Amino acid sequence: MTYKISRRGLIQGAAGAAAAGALGGCAMGGDDSTDDAKGATSANNPLGVKEDAALEVVIFNGGFGEEYAKAHQSMYQERYPKAQIKHSATQQIAETLQPRFVAGDPPDVVNNSGASQIDFNGLVAQGALADLGELLDAPSLDDPNKKVRDTLLPGIVDVGSYDGKFLSLNYAYSAYGIWYSQKLFESRGWEYPKTWDEMIALCKTIKAAGIAPWTYPGKHSRYMSWPIVAAAGKMGGIEVIKAMDNLEPNAWKHEAVKAAAEAYYQLAVDGYLQPGAAGMDHIQAQTEWCRGKAAFLSCGSWLENEQKSVTPPDFRMAVAPTPSLTTGDKMPFEAFRGTGSEPFIVPSKGKNVRGGLEYLRVMLSQKGASDFTRKVSSLTAVQGSSAGIELGPGLTSVTRMIDAAQGGTFTWLYNSYYRKLERERIDAACAELYAKRITAAQWCDKVQKSADEFAQDPAIKKYKRA
């Protein structure tokens, strides 16, 4: 269970959580940075890092592990050999760090990711995050004539911005789509379907061959909301997605959303979902897929690294965009959801804010970014950082999908603006949809009702996507 810091600075914890109970009436530190550690600026130190100031970094120990962060810390240490670096990694980000944010004693850098991510809406509303705009305007580590912002892939600043301030660096670049095994498809003579009619026809063939056409993590059913929203956006255009981000009335009842929900509901109705998937978590579903028990899986491009220990050597995982729903879709088949992920933040109350900004600058260097890609098989937010690196089959497929899209990528922000809308409400609605407890129309109604509740709740800070 995650905790949320409300607009009023109260901890809303899970029942029985002693730490949350003890801190329930405490306000969290505001946006005035302590910034105790500050040194003189220079060409080699544009952010004014105090060379002997300690730096504390907390990493989410998930699909990417923590070894890549140790490499980044070594790079920082080379630049500031007098600085003592404290490193820790956990899967319980909220439970571990929530009390420290409340006490005004957070770490200097936090990889705020995973199921226990601290709610960004609460952090932003409380002014708990340092503005990273200064980092964007600093010279890059590789070229003093190029600003950091000019080294980033398109969309990275947008996805980390709230109220016009860049507050979260989404370091990994994630491409989302439908995954399959090239080996399986080639051995069976199957081709990835570009239209929904082709998808259903192929699902019928796959099922007849004794393989489940699709699997999914029923315990995290929001994974199957992603192709619904992607298909709706491709059919109706980016304005459909922006309406969702802006909590507009009836955004989830748009005809394109209804059509997409009906399409993916058909997978459940026609028996194309793997039996037992409703009880699986993401690792279990992905492992079933790697074992050839199912043909299709909805996921992001961290999949290859997350499953490397169980993926057969000749599996040759590949990804493709969601199929087009109609011949009149506003976006082409090649369009896909591509966005920054794996958010890093610098708490405004950290003891070494300057060092935190510099640490992110190190991460955004060509060396830091390419090392990350080599270690975890994921692209980063840095342009050109995968050049010359031998990529695995999955990531090679991602780069092909990026090239084919020719810049035609899109994303949504409601999951960043209103985390619980996706993680709790949409997740629960998808669990019911794919278990056939509700229809596609009822799913649209249910999600819209949740979005309306968020829109009407005065305690939830609202954001506007232009």
Domain presence at residue 22: no
52 and 181 housed in the same domain: no
* The pLDDT value given to residue 33: 46
On the question of pLDDT at 10 being above 60, the answer is: no
In this prediction, residue 38 carries a pLDDT of 82
At residue 36 the predicted structure's pLDDT band, cuts being 50, 70 and 90, is low
Q: How far apart are the first and last CA of the chain?
A: 32
Number of domains in the chain: 2
Of the given ranges (178-182, 230-234, 364-368, 462-466), which has the lowest mean pLDDT? Answer: 462-466
325-328, long-range: CB < 8 A, 24+ apart: 325/195, 325/196, 325/231, 325/234, 325/235, 325/256, 325/259, 325/260, 325/263, 326/235, 326/259, 327/195
> Which residue from 326, 312, 322 is spatially nearest to 214, judged by alpha carbons?
322
Per-residue pLDDT tens for 356-371? 999 999 999 999 999 9
Give the mean model confidence (pLDDT) for residues 325-343: 96
Q: Does residue 148 sit within a domain?
A: yes
Under the banding of pLDDT at 50, 70 and 90, the label for residue 411 is very high
- Is 31's pLDDT higher than 50? no
pLDDT score at 39: 80
Q: Does a structural domain hold residue 158?
A: yes
Residue 264 scores a pLDDT above 70: yes
pLDDT higher than threshold 60 for residue 6? no
The model's pTM is: 0.84
Q: Are residues 222 and 289 in the same domain?
A: yes
Mention every residue, 6+ apart, whose C-beta is less than 8 A from residue 105.
349
In a domain, 181, yes or no: yes
pLDDT-based confidence at residue 19 (cuts at 50, 70, 90) = very low
In a domain, 12, yes or no: no
Same domain, 182 and 323: yes
- Give yes or no: residues 219 and 306 share one domain: yes
pLDDT-based confidence at 397, cuts 50/70/90? Answer: very high
Same domain, 329 and 435: yes
Residue 394 inside a domain? The answer is no
The stretch 136-165 carries a mean pLDDT of 94
137 and 186, same domain (yes or no): no
In the predicted model, is pLDDT for residue 213 greater than 70? yes
Model confidence at 414: pLDDT above 80 = yes
- Per-residue pLDDT, 20: 31
- Whether residues 330 and 223 share a domain: the answer is yes
> Same structural domain for residues 334 and 286?
yes
Quick one: 150 and 98 in the same domain? yes
What is the reported pLDDT for 212? 98
Question: 219-263, pLDDT tens digit by residue?
Answer: 999 999 999 999 999 999 999 999 999 999 999 999 999 999 999
Residue 124 and residue 198 share a domain:
no
Tell whether 306 and 440 lie within a shared domain.
Answer: yes
b/e per residue 222-240 (b: at least 16 CB within 10 A): bbbbbbbbbbbbbbbebeb
Residue 216 sits in a domain whose CATH number is: 3.40.190.10
Q: Tell whether 206 is covered by a domain.
A: yes
Residue 28: its pLDDT value, please?
52
Would you say residue 1 lies in a domain?
no
State the residue range of the domain holding 446.
Answer: 174-338+414-456
Q: Which two tokens stand for residue 298?
A: 């909805």
Contact 163, 392 (CB under 8 A): no
Shared-domain flag, residues 292 and 325: yes
